[in-house]
Amino acid sequence: MLAAPDVRAQEPSADELARCQDFGLDDADVTARIHDIRARIEHHEPDMRHWLTVVGVLHGALFGAELVLGFTASGDGPRNEAIIGAISSGLGLVTLFTSFPPLVGAGGQLDAMPEDTPEQRLSKLVRAEALLRTSAESVSFVRGPVASLLSAGYVAVVASLLATVFQRTTGAFILAAGGVVLGQGRLLIHPDGILHEWRRYWFQHPDAGCEPVVRATGVALNWSLGPAAMPGGGGLGLSLSF
């Protein structure tokens, strides 16, 4: 299994901590929120680790196989196909680790932070909410249209290059089919549970991150119809207020 990198817990910035201290969160509420977030992370972090392991091993195996095929190819055509395939698999590994899921290792980061004093607990809550939010944002991007289009665009460009420049039409079709299955499949099976957890948490705590709760504003039109004094007698009056 792929191991998470050694990422130490990062303390919140002075501005973040000062804002939360001024926000006036109750210490009991802070403690409850920390335990709540920790439970959410603990529930979904294993799935993300499994996804990372499976995808990483698959890309690594394909990279190694393509290298072997490239070194043992009997001609330039098969060799070029193998080299391009190895480059694609290598780039898959690179993108996997350059966009390393923030959720992996998040539990360990929180466990490494002390919570013996109210100040430490507040600092830990700021970090916990940031980890929950960034993990959700990462999943949102991976499962969004931009990542899918980038993956499909890369496959289209490489397959076209293989077909037009190297005259390997069959290999281009195989690469395109494999690239779509692996690239899009990698995105589709990416666990998205932490994204839903963040949405539920933010719904319960709209002041997450010690941000003021912004309520919707708009123009309200109220009207009433009732008796009114009119010159020469009574009548009906219409009242409008905004």
Q: Which residues pair with 230 in a beta bridge?
A: 233
59 and 88 in contact (C-beta within 8 Å)?
Answer: no
Q: pLDDT digit string (tens) for 26-56?
A: 899 999 999 999 999 999 999 999 999 999 9
Tokens of 232: 């020469």
Give the end-to-end CA distance of the chain in Å, rounded to a whole number: 62
Q: Is residue 184 part of a domain?
A: no
Directed axis angle between helix 27-72 and helix 193-204, to 10°?
A: 160
Q: How confident is the model at residue 76 (pLDDT cuts 50, 70, 90)?
A: confident
Q: What is the mean predicted confidence (pLDDT) over 226-241?
A: 50
Can you give the residue range of the structural domain that contains 95? 14-143+190-216
Question: How many structural domains compose the chain?
Answer: 1
Average pLDDT over residues 183-193: 93
Q: Which residues of 72-101 are buried (b: 16+ CB within 10 A; e: fewer)?
A: eeeeeeebbbbbbbbebbbebbebbeeeeb
- With respect to residue 64, please indicate whether it lies within any of the assigned structural domains: yes
Which residues in the chain belong to E strands, given as ranges? 222-230, 233-241
User: How confident is the model over 148-175, as a mean pLDDT?
Assistant: 89
Cβ-proximal residues to 175 (8 Å cutoff; 6+ apart), any chain: 81, 84, 85, 88, 155, 158, 159, 162
Q: Is residue 62 part of a domain?
A: yes
Residue indicated by tokens 């941000």: 211
CA 19 to chain centre: 25
Contact assessment for residue 27 and residue 180, using Cβ atoms and an 8 Å cutoff: no
* φ, ψ of residue 187 in degrees (nearest 5): -75, -40
* CA atoms of 159 and 170, how far apart (whole Å): 10
Query: Quick check: is 162 in a domain?
Result: no
Q: Using pLDDT thresholds of 50, 70 and 90, give the confidence band for residue 207.
A: confident
**53 found inside a domain:** yes
Q: Rounded to an integer, what distance in angstroms lies between the CA atom of residue 94 and that of residue 75?
A: 29
Whether the Cβ atoms of residue 177 and residue 137 lie closer than 8 Å to each other: no
Is 170 contained in some domain? Answer: no
Q: Is residue 85 part of a domain?
A: yes
pTM: 0.77
Quick check: is 68 in a domain?
A: yes
